Amino acid sequence: MLKVLVCVSGGGTNLQAILDKAKAKELGDVEIVRVISNNANAYALTRAAEAGVSGVCVSPKDYATRDEFHKAFLQAIDEVSPDLVVLAGFLVVIPEEVIIKYRNRIINIHPSLIPSFCGTGYYGLKVHEAALERGVKVTGATVHFVDEGTDTGPIILQKAVYVKEGDTPKDLQLRVMEEAEWEILPKAIRMIADGEVKLG
CB 21 within 8 A of CB 186: yes
Rounded to an integer, what distance in angstroms lies between the CA atom of residue 34 and that of residue 84? Answer: 11
Nearest-CB residue for ligand GAR:
89
- Is residue 124 within the footprint of ligand GAR (CB under 6 A)? yes
Please pick, from the candidates 30, 181, 187, 193, the single residue that binds ligand GAR as defined by CB under 6 A. Answer: 181
Q: How many residues interact with ligand GAR (rule CB under 6 A)?
A: 17
Q: How far is the CB of 172 from ligand GAR (least distance, A)?
A: 11
Per-residue binding letters, 137-156, with ligand GAR (x by CB under 6 A): --------------------
Rounded to an integer, what distance in angstroms lies between the CA atom of residue 14 and that of residue 4? Answer: 14
Task: Name the phi and psi angles at 65, rounded to 5.
Answer: -130, 160
Rounded to an integer, what distance in angstroms lies between the CA atom of residue 170 and that of residue 159? Answer: 18
- Is residue 89 within the footprint of ligand GAR (CB under 6 A)? yes
- Binding to ligand GAR in span 90-119, by CB under 6 A: 109-111
Sign of the dihedral defined by the CA atoms of residues 183, 89, 152, 68, in that order: negative
Active site residue 110: yes
Beta strand pairing call for 155-162 and 138-145: antiparallel
Residues that bind ligand GAR (CB under 6 A): 8, 10-14, 44, 88-89, 109-111, 123-124, 127, 177, 181
